[in-house]
Amino acid sequence: MAVTKPACRSRSLCFTCSLLFVLLHQIVAKRELKFAVLVFRHGDRTPVENFPTDLHKESEWPQGFGQLTKTGMRQQHGLGQYTRKRYSKFLSDTYNRKQVYIQSTDYDRTLMSAQTYLAGLFPPIGNQIWNPRILWQPIPVHTRPRSADKMLHFPIPNCPRYDELQNETQASSELQNRIQPYLDFLQNLAVNSGYEIDILKTVGNFKIWNTYDTLLCESIHNYTLPEWATKDFMDKMEKLTELSLLSLFGIYKTEEKSRLQGGVLVNDILKNIKKAANPSNKRKLRIYSAHDTTIGALQVALNIFNGKLPPYSACQFFELYQESSGQYSIEMYYQNDTSKDPYLLTLPGCTPACPLEKFAELVSPVLVEDWSKACGNKDIMRVWKVQA
């Protein structure tokens, strides 16, 4: 039997009905998650190198330097499980290649981190179980050779202008004023580590960073530390390592550095977010497995860097929402402790739920169309453009 609308007895009643319908629609309509981008650091690894006076050699580490450990595998698997929980109502229960894309730098530790992460995110269920004794399924992880990776491996090499900026940064008062309080400490570090003092004063060359990192790895895995590696000594090294990371992408002429470094990744993320706002888009999740320098470069470019070293499995989230009004907004989160929910971040000049158009406008100063030209590369064979 057909259902007919009751006729409105008066214009006032019709208006009231219409108003109630609009209000009810606004209550029912909810903002909807449409797309997410995740950029994470690999899990726990062995040192990448030893310093001249190091007590331990590469042969003492399973698989050698720079390799993912079993602890790192567990960290990444846990991050994958967290992602599954966070997006349980957004992602399909089973792996769908049209929904998810993951890219890694060409390092064993990042490729393995991506694989263990995916094992936590998409354990096979139902008809995706190919062996009941192995609750794992192969999922493609895409990568590029290191020499061709100009998006995830930072600092991006072969950029003469960036090299100039780094030399200027090292000589700048902005950096030297921060190094000054540590000069006596650097002298002690030179004696203890075996490095020349002039090498250590150049904080952007990774020597302080790698020395601190090596000692940290040894401490985490219960290797014997030298007597001079006291807590106070390690704390000072950590501060200098944080300064080293910041000097790579900030402190001096940060905006121009970001156009040549972290802004390249910002551009790629924004490009994919804009694609996701298209109703025909089927992709739901894009994931990047990379390094602490990747997160540092990205966050400095967005002016959301907290000055701390990104720990193992740290993850930067970008989430695209369609509001009840139909407009799109971006929310950013940062997880630097896998036991806690991520922190909500706000792009300077915007609200936590930043309208997509406003987000694009605010990040535009760190985007560049022709990266090779901005770098001052004259070799036509090395021209590489970042598509807007």
Q: How far is the first Cα of the chain from the last one, in angstroms, to the nearest whole number?
A: 56
**pLDDT score recorded for residue 39:** 99
Q: pLDDT digit of tens for each residue in the chain (388 aa)?
A: 444 444 445 555 545 545 544 444 444 468 999 999 999 999 999 999 999 999 999 999 999 999 999 999 999 999 999 999 999 999 999 999 999 999 999 999 999 999 999 999 999 999 999 999 999 999 999 999 999 999 999 999 999 999 999 999 999 999 999 999 999 999 999 999 999 999 999 988 899 999 999 999 999 999 999 999 999 999 999 999 999 999 999 999 999 999 999 999 999 999 999 999 998 889 999 999 999 999 999 999 999 999 999 999 999 999 999 999 999 999 999 999 888 899 999 999 999 999 999 999 999 999 999 999 999 987 533 444 443 3
Residues in the chain: 388
Q: Is 142 a catalytic residue?
A: no
Q: Is 42 a catalytic residue?
A: yes
| Residue appearing with tokens 């020499």 | 147
Residue 179 in 3-state DSSP? helix
Q: How far apart are CA 176 and CA 186, in angstroms?
A: 13
**pLDDT score recorded for residue 116:** 98
**pLDDT score recorded for residue 11:** 54
Cα distances (angstroms) measured from residue 216 to each of 50, 291, 295, 300, 306: 12, 16, 20, 24, 21
Q: Which amino acid is at 201?
A: K
Neighbours of 217 (CB within 10 A): 20
Catalytic, out of 142, 213, 292, 370: 292
Catalytic, out of 42, 77, 153, 291: 42
Q: How many alpha carbons lie under 13 Å from residue 381 in its C-beta half-sphere?
A: 0
**pLDDT score recorded for residue 279:** 87
**pLDDT score recorded for residue 338:** 80
Q: How many alpha carbons lie under 13 Å from residue 144 in its C-beta half-sphere?
A: 11
Instruction: Provide φ and ψ at 125, rounded to 5°.
Output: -135, 155
Please answer whether residues 91 and 99 qualify as being in contact, where contact means their C-beta atoms are separated by less than 8 angstroms.
yes
> H helices within the chain, ranges in order?
11-28, 70-86, 108-121, 160-171, 173-179, 183-193, 197-201, 207-220, 231-249, 254-260, 262-276, 292-301, 356-363, 371-375
Q: Which of 292, 300, 343 is nearest to 40 (CA)?
A: 292
**pLDDT score recorded for residue 380:** 39
Q: How far apart are CA 36 and CA 91, in angstroms?
A: 10
Cα distances (angstroms) measured from residue 122 to each of 80, 99, 117, 206, 347: 8, 12, 9, 36, 31
Q: Which of 89, 93, 100 is nearest to 36 (CA)?
A: 100
**pLDDT score recorded for residue 186:** 97
CA angle 255, 155, 168 (to 5 degrees): 55
Q: Is the pTM of this model over 0.85?
A: yes
Q: How far apart are CA 286 and CA 36, in angstroms?
A: 6
Per DSSP, 342 falls in state: P
**pLDDT score recorded for residue 10:** 54
Tokens of 84: 């599954």
Q: How far apart are CA 22 and CA 106, in angstroms?
A: 53
Neighbours of 107 (CB within 10 A): 22
Q: How far apart are CA 125 and CA 225, in angstroms?
A: 45
CATH of 33-156+263-374, one of 3.40.50.1000, 3.40.50.1100, 3.40.50.1820, 3.40.50.1240: 3.40.50.1240
Neighbours of 94 (CB within 10 A): 14
Partnered with residue 41 across adjacent β-strands are: 290
Please answer whether residues 333 and 344 qualify as being in contact, where contact means their C-beta atoms are separated by less than 8 angstroms.
yes
Tokens of 224: 């014997």
